[in-house]
Amino acid sequence: MTSLRPAPGPVDLSSIETDAAPGFAGKKAEGQAALAALGPELADQQERLFANRTTGSGSRVLLVLQGMDTSGKGGVLRHAVGLIDPQGVRITSFKAPTDEEKQHHFLWRIERALPEPGYVGVFDRSHYEDVLIHRVRGWADADTLEQRYAEINNFELRLVEDGCVVLKCMLHISADEQKARLQERLDNPEKHWKYNPGDLDERALWPAYREAYEIAIERTNTETAPWHVVPADKKWFRNLAIATLLLDALRGLELQWPKADFDVATEKRRLQEEDPVR
């Protein structure tokens, strides 16, 4: 797959196609087959990660999912993250902060939701809301926002130093695609629960959100925790891209099966010759 990392410096989202499938030659059916084909190695890699908990390794992965309403965060959870053994996955969906959360630093609730070693943590929205909706709605002033970008970079750098791969993905859809998806939610009574009249008020702020994303990505697109902008109009490509990024992240950890910290021959003898259960 072609790299989805924007180059360092200013980001122009309008120059990144939303309905492309960069680096993948096939169409939907081939893309779905390619996703399914990743399953076994993803499962193997995730089990190695989980196994390494027992060695005191700090290795873990944090997948951060950001994107406009209807960009498909839920679909990624189902179809890409769903390929991994749920035993080793910890998903957190961040909503508007609670009263308790509001009384703390914006990273407080994030810290509490970080995956422990051995786990793949997934954030459905994240600390980036504090520089996205907060910027768009004017809930934070310019100085505060600048401070937050820096705090986020420090926070993520520390995470990476602690053994956590930080995989930040923006699901990039077009305004037209969002319109079609909102229409679908209105047309299908089984999807009405996903619709909220406030969604249109947010949609009205589309240009402001795009700018907020561009600035946030530019400011936090670090070498240790880079952003990936994932074309997401094609659901199958979005899922394939995220699963591929997850697999690459796990491969990059070069995880070996932990060696036994006991004498295998002794234990075999104990089990067979001294079996305590008669």
* Pairwise CA distance, residues 132 & 142, whole Å: 12
Choose, by CB under 8 A, the member of 57, 160, 203, 214 that binds a copy of itself: 203
In the shown chain, the binding pattern of residues 114 to 153 toward a copy of itself, with x for contact by CB under 8 A and - for none, equals: ----------x-----------------------------
- Told to check if 56 binds a copy of itself by CB under 8 A, we report no
Task: Choose which of 200, 224, 248, 251 interacts with a copy of itself (CB under 8 A).
Answer: 200
Which range of residues in 16-24, 102-110, 236-244, 256-264 is near a copy of itself by CB under 8 A? 256-264
Report the residue from 1, 16, 20, 91 that binds a copy of itself according to the rule CB under 8 A.
Answer: 91
Residues in the chain: 278
Which one of residues 86, 99, 254, 273 is an interface residue with a copy of itself (CB under 8 A)? 86
The bridge status of strand 120-124 relative to strand 60-67 is parallel
Structure tokens at 193: 């629960």
Q: Does 13 bind a copy of itself (CB under 8 A)?
A: no
Candidate segments 128-136, 197-205, 211-219, 244-252, binder of a copy of itself by CB under 8 A: 197-205
Is-contact 115 60, C-beta < 8 A? yes
Choosing from 33, 36, 37, 186, the residue that interacts with a copy of itself (CB under 8 A) is 186
> Rounded to whole angstroms, how far apart are CA atoms 103 and 99?
7
Residue burial 198-210, b: 16+ Cβ < 10 Å; e: rest: ebeebbeeeebbb
Residue 262 makes contact with a copy of itself by CB under 8 A: yes
Least CB distance to a copy of itself at residue 61 (A): 15
Distance CA 45, CA 42 (A): 5
Decide if residue 36 touches a copy of itself (CB under 8 A): no
Establish if 190 lies at the interface with a copy of itself (CB under 8 A).
yes
Instruction: Measure the CA–CA gap between 262 and 155, rounded to whole angstroms.
Output: 37
Smallest distance from the beta carbon of 247 to a copy of itself, in angstroms? 17
> Out of 195, 213, 227, 237, which residue is the one contacting a copy of itself (CB under 8 A)?
195
Beta bridge partners of 237: none
Q: Which pair of structure tokens corresponds to residue 60? A: 């873990």
Q: Give contact residues for a copy of itself (rule: CB under 8 A).
A: 51-52, 54-55, 74, 77-78, 81-82, 85-87, 89-91, 93, 124, 175, 179, 182-183, 186, 189-190, 192-197, 200, 203-204, 206-207, 257-260, 262, 264, 267-268, 270-272, 275-277
